[in-house]
Amino acid sequence: MPKDKKSKLITGDILRSSLPGAFAKLNPRYMMHNPVMFVVEIGFVVTLLLCVWPNLFGDEGGNLRLFNAIVAAILLITLLFANFAEAVAEGRGKAQAQSLKKTQKDMQARILSDDGGETILSAGMLKKGDMVLVKAGELIPNDGEVIEGIASVDESAITGESAPVLKESGGDFASVTGGTMVVSDCLKIRITANPGESFLAKMIALVEGASRRKTPNEIALNTLLVSLTIVFLIVMVSLYPMALYSGVRLQISTLIALTVCLIPTTIGGLLSAIGIAGMDRVTRFNVIALSGKAVEACGDVDTMILDKTGTITYGNRMAARFIPVGNTEERELIRCAVLSSVQDDTPEGKSVVELGGRLSGEYQEAGPGMEFLEFTAQTRMSGVNFPDGTGVRKGAPDAIVNYVRELGGAIPQDLGSRVNEVAKLGGTPLVVCAGERILGVIYLKDTIKAGLVERFARLRAIGIKTIMCTGDNPLTAATIAQEAGVDSFIAECKPEDKIKAIQAEQARGKIVAMTGDGTNDAPALAQANVGIAMNSGTAAAKEAANMVDLDSDPTKILDVVEIGKQLLITRGSLTTFSIANDIAKYFAIIPAMFMAVIPQMGTLNIMALSTPYSAILSALIFNAVIIPILIPLAMKGVRYKPMHAEKMLSRNLLVYGLGGVMVPFAGIKLIDLVITPVLTALGL
DSSP percent split of the chain into helix, strand, coil, nearest 5:
55, 15, 30
Give the residue ranges of the chain where pLDDT is below 70.
1-14, 56-63, 89, 92-106, 156-163, 170-173, 199-216, 218, 279, 291-293, 310-311, 315-316, 362-364, 366, 536, 554-555, 596, 642
487 among annotated binding-site residues: no
Tell me the domains of the chain and their CATH numbers: 12-95+207-283+561-682 (no CATH), 127-194 (2.70.150.10), 295-312+449-550 (3.40.50.1000), 320-441 (3.40.1110.10)
Q: Is 577 exposed, middle or buried (0-12, 13-18, 19+ CB in 10 A)?
A: buried
344 among annotated binding-site residues: yes
- The pLDDT value recorded for residue 4 is 38
- The pLDDT value recorded for residue 6 is 44
Neighbouring residues of 342: CB distance < 8 A, sequence distance ≥ 6: 353, 364, 365, 366, 372, 384
358 among annotated binding-site residues: no
CA distances from 344 to 370, 379, 568 (A): 13, 15, 51
Amino acid at 590: I
**DSSP H helices in 209-285:** 216-245, 252-262, 265-284
Helix (H) / strand (E) element for 337: namely: helix 330-339
469 and 497 in contact (C-beta within 8 Å)? Answer: yes
- The pLDDT value recorded for residue 1 is 38
94 among annotated binding-site residues: no
- The pLDDT value recorded for residue 404 is 94
pTM, entire model: 0.64
What 3-state class would DSSP assign to 330?
A: helix
**DSSP H helices in 55-177:** 64-104, 156-159
378 among annotated binding-site residues: yes
381 among annotated binding-site residues: yes
Residues with catalytic function:
307
Burial 332-353 (b: 16+ CB within 10 A, else e): ebbbbbbbbbbbbebbbbbbbb
Q: At what angle do helices 216-245 and 556-594 cross, to 10 degrees?
A: 0
